[in-house]
Structure 1
């Protein structure tokens, strides 16, 4: 006879836990205790739930599984960045990064195992998408990176960015549920204002974020300010052109008032001219964008792109500043361990 897989207890709501405990003749308040162990105290074994009787812990072990993400390997960069490769219970690998600065400790987390979007400049884009991460797995990434931050720097995480492997808006439900638990007082209690979800641009789902009145920030990976160039490096632009993204971002802002950022990687002789800068300024003025992040390109083996020289980069920056654009140059962190933007590919 086929043995059915046990249900992951963290996939149950508090109400479903209450029903379970009542169903086995236990008091309803047990659900609150267990919920606290699962989320606030991050217990990964039933035996750790010490305020429950041994008999009850055994019963739960019999009925449920409690899978958790584990750290597989950790790499330390000369600049203090820490990259971790995590292993899922079914043997998949996914990466997350701790990016420390004096004033911030930021977790860069993944939302999918691999990616289906095939952006030409990104190492993850050359991998197949195996599956979406479950919301409890995303939660575990944050918990484990937070632990690293406390151990290495004596400080908790201050920020979370969904800029790791995968497209967050193609794993919509799990990403939103993970953020709900991360920001819940019953979970990690982090302010959603300190969370940024980065998207390659799925117009329909950006509108959905507006309808769902989310409270976190949104970043658009733009990287080219016209359709011809964006299409060349980001196939998603075929079905989500710049006009549709501008409309979706304006709708998102009308519904939420949340901060929007443009991310723009500079590629040598591709999108780094003053004409490109001028097109970017025009686009900036069509959307209530709070900030444009100009990002240094981090070369990967599979792509022929190069980083422009410092003079070209500064000329681009100065042009934007002259046009009164709120712009920041984001220097890469963790390049020496392939932990920088666009480099995550599960290398050991």
Structure 2
């Protein structure tokens, strides 16, 4: 249609509208309640995101997770994982019993566990060891960075000693060097932390020495723990065999050199082959009818031969019942108790006999 005639009324500055077109509607201001609702929703989303990030990156508030990992690792025999969440409080060279090659061979491991309560640095758990349930309280430590670990106070230590200096001990068959206690020391000992379990103890490094195998028990129930053992050093079978051979050799030498008269009866190292006859004798002959037994006892670095069961020896000889001008030789036989004595010294790594 044609535009209105000149001079017709028009709204000032109103934009021209095509006939039939819908005029633009003015924008309505947002309702106050709607604005508040949107703001509250945005705040809630932001708060939830913040809490999620805080929980994701903030440290644990107690030691439950570390204690769970620790007990599970001990149950699985995984010492590496157990050490990752624990602090035994000793340098690495003193943590030898906490290594896998020692712990894997230990008996009476932890069978199971259940966390009962966790409050800050204390974690209370029910632990089963060798089929026996016992409540245990772990004392946890927290690093400045917020990392929880099983603390040093939870570790029991095995005290292992020997009644004489030894080169090394064995725990579950693994050699552990004995500390150098100095030349004046008459004993050796170790004091090392260990995980709960049963450990076989011994010595090594000396072919002439051994001990009766003993065991140490590290129990969750400290009342039944048995962690202190003193090993008595004994002669090895090799030393006993070599000592017996040395004694037999010496006896053969004594028999071969048996004196013909009492004036020469005290031959060096053959004090047992003596005749107690005041008259002249001749044709002296010794035979061993029963072997004596012996034991060895250690004092410092010397093994002393001690007679146990007596043996039996027979000596035959002739004795002059007449005089020098008109001798009268008569046969004589005596039965003696055979004993052994002496000392065994280890010289240049070899057993040697010192006669008495």
Higher helix share: 1
Fold match (TM-score > 0.5): no
TM-score normalized by the length of structure 2: 0.21
- Structure in which a larger fraction of residues adopt strand: 2
Largest Rg, 1 or 2? 2
- Flag the structure with more relative contact order, 1 or 2, with Cα contacts below 8 A and sequence separation at least 6: 1
Using structure 1 for the length normalisation, give the TM-score.
0.21
